[in-house]
A and B are shown apart, each in its own frame.
Chain A
């Protein structure tokens, strides 16, 4: 039965013409592909026009007729998506200013639309609230915060206008309070809302759409919010001092002539790197520093202010131990004589 409706060989297609038709379809298919790239859909204000035609044979010959044309305009759909574009937590430290968090705001609607941006630093469920310094728009579009080049956002003044299916990068600049400790995290969020309006999907704003139609709220509610996190990396150092006495008689009594070996162990805790650790210790009153007795990590140091890490200035020893990763220790020893 169904074969009755298959295409009839009215034009008696030959094999060559079939191949020609296939080739033709191939080229058209490839050319038409870029149109499909519009994830946002048909642009607002586009007219959809439909007209049917019919051909038939009469006694007077073949006739072609057209139907009426139906025209529908495509409204503007208001949709937006915000996402964090940082690969993970943004590292900060106690008291640090100018933390930079990156977010992507995408216009998933089908018209040019301005979006109002709101950053929130006081979110629940985290350990601390940073202070908001600025929201900055990635004006030069390189995805990197360029202070003094990228433009600071002011609500209602320079709400970014985003073309359909396009996105922009927005930076939220914050500072971290001094009181935070290692592993503390902060939730920083940014919301984007269509300036034309937001609301439940389907909410319509008469004549507010691009191209003269209405603007209709899409599935996102025409607003979107995304969070990014700051994570504190902080180190702390503890110094432990012990003394070992060797008296002239082979014992360990603090008598004249005894040598006291002091051991200073600096332990770095937390996360990250402790920068520029310097250990100083005054020589106890009534004792005599033993020349060239300093060591750092069991390596002997000279007393002079020279290339090595140790100096003795006559009253105290000073050792610059450099940058120490968390979890490591630095051990310093020196010797004094009890006269």
Chain B
């Protein structure tokens, strides 16, 4: 009985997903790449991006969020939010146009404007390692067919 319920739930989830995909006017996809340094035969080294299944602490990750307006209407106030995985330290975005949160998404600001409490009651400037969420407020209307990507980097803690 329990199994049936689970199957039903799974089917419902699948159906829900496909309906949502069909109905949503926007597509959003997430990819993660890892930078691997490859030594060539001539002694030079080159950095390539791989889609990893496995990483180790210290690996440099590149997160790519792609969006596309697949509807015929314009979407306004387009905002993309990416919570940073707990095991990843933020290492900047490619466009520098993000706002970040250092408190789990409660408050937002430019990283340089945020401060964090020290144990002695004083505060210090927030560091990239304090970032918990990244957000882009794309203030331009996203017209039909428009697409783009947002890129940020992280390091496996």
Least distance between B84 CB and chain A CB atoms (Å) = 8
Please state if B28 and A29 are interface contacts (CB–CB under 8 Å): no
A29/B52 contact (C-beta < 8 A), A6-B110, A54-B78, A65-B20 known: no
Q: Is the CB of B32 within 8 A of A72?
A: yes
Specify the main secondary structure of chain A where it touches its partner.
mixed
Proximity bits, B15-35, A CB within 8 Å = 1, else 0: 000001000111011111010
Which of A35-43, A146-154, A307-315 sits within the interface? Answer: A35-43
Q: Is the C-beta of B156 less than 8 angstroms from some C-beta in chain A?
A: yes
Known: A7-B137, A65-B26, A214-B54. A42 touches B87 (CB 8 A): yes
Cα A337 to Cα B117 in complex, Å, equals: 92
Partner of B130, one of A10, A18, A29: A29
Q: Chain B residues with Cβ under 8 A from A57's Cβ?
A: 75-77
Partner of A50 from the list B76, B82, B115, B119 (CB cut-off 8 Å) is B82
Contacting pair A29 B78 (CB below 8 A): no
- CB neighbours (8 Å) of A66 from chain B are 28
Of A28, A51, A56, A70, which one neighbours B104 at CB under 8 angstroms? A28
How far apart sit A68 and B88, CA to CA, in the bound complex (Å)? 18
Residues of chain A in range 58-111 having any CB-CB distance to chain B below 8 Å: 58-59, 62-63, 65-70, 72-77, 110
B96 to chain A, nearest CB (A): 9
Q: Is B44 an interface residue (CB 8 A)?
A: no
Contacts of A51 on B, CB cut-off 8 Å?
Answer: 30, 82-83
Chain A residues near B110: list those with CB within 8 A. 6-7
**Other-chain contact of A41, B65, B86, B123, B157 (Cβ < 8 Å):** B157
Instruction: Give Cα A29–Cα B106 distance, bound, in whole angstroms.
Output: 12
Please measure, in the bound complex, the distance between the C-alpha atom of A46 and the C-alpha atom of B83, giving whole angstroms: 17
Residues of A within 8 A of B123 (CB): 26
- Contact pick for B80, options A21, A53, A72, CB 8 Å: A53
Cβ 8 A contact of B103, one of A28, A49, A68: A28
Residue A213 lies at the interface, judged by CB distance under 8 Å to chain B: yes
A-side interface residues, number (CB < 8 Å): 55
Indicate whether B92 reaches chain A with its CB closer than 8 angstroms.
no
* Residue numbers in B under 8 Å from A214 (CB-CB): 54
Residue A4 is within 8 A (CB to CB) of chain B in the complex: yes
Chain B residues 125 to 157 lying within 8 A of chain A, measured CB to CB, are 129-130, 132, 136-137, 139, 142, 156-157
Chain A residues, Cβ within 8 Å of B156: 41-42, 48, 74
Name the B residues within 8 Å of A42 (CB-CB). Answer: 57, 87, 156-157
Assess whether A75 is in contact with B80, with CB atoms less than 8 Å apart: no
B118 to chain A, nearest CB (A): 8
Given contacts A5-B139, A41-B156, A65-B24, contact A50 B30 (CB under 8 A): yes
Q: Say whether B55 contacts A70, CB under 8 Å.
A: no
> When the two chains form their complex, are residues B65 and A63 in contact, meaning their CB atoms are under 8 A apart?
no
- Point out the residues of chain B lying under 8 angstroms from A30, CB to CB: 117, 119
Closest CB in chain B relative to A159 CB, distance in Å: 23
Docked pose: A62 CA to B132 CA in angstroms: 24
**Contact mask B90-112 → A, CB, 8 Å, 1/0?**
00000001010011101111100
Within 8 Å of chain B (Cβ to Cβ): is A232?
A: no
Whether A75 contacts B55 by the Cβ 8 Å rule is: yes
Find the residue from B56, B63, B103, B106 having the highest chain A CB count within 10 A: B56
Distance from A205 Cβ to chain B, minimum over Cβ atoms (Å): 12
- Are B26 and A52 in contact, with the CB atoms below 8 A? no
Contact B54–A73 (Cβ < 8 Å) = yes
Least distance between A148 CB and chain B CB atoms (Å): 40
B86 CB to nearest chain A CB (Å): 8
A238 CB within 8 Å of chain B:
no
Q: Which of B73, B80, B87, B119 contacts A46 (CB 8 A)?
A: B87
Supply 24 A–B pairs (Cβ within 8 Å), ascending by A.
A21-B107, A26-B117, A28-B103, A28-B104, A40-B57, A42-B156, A51-B82, A52-B81, A54-B26, A54-B80, A54-B81, A56-B142, A57-B76, A58-B76, A65-B20, A65-B28, A67-B28, A70-B30, A70-B31, A72-B55, A73-B54, A75-B56, A77-B57, A216-B56
8 further interface pairs, Cβ-Cβ under 8 Å (given A2-B97, A28-B132, A49-B85): A25-B117, A50-B63, A50-B82, A54-B26, A56-B142, A62-B77, A73-B55, A214-B54
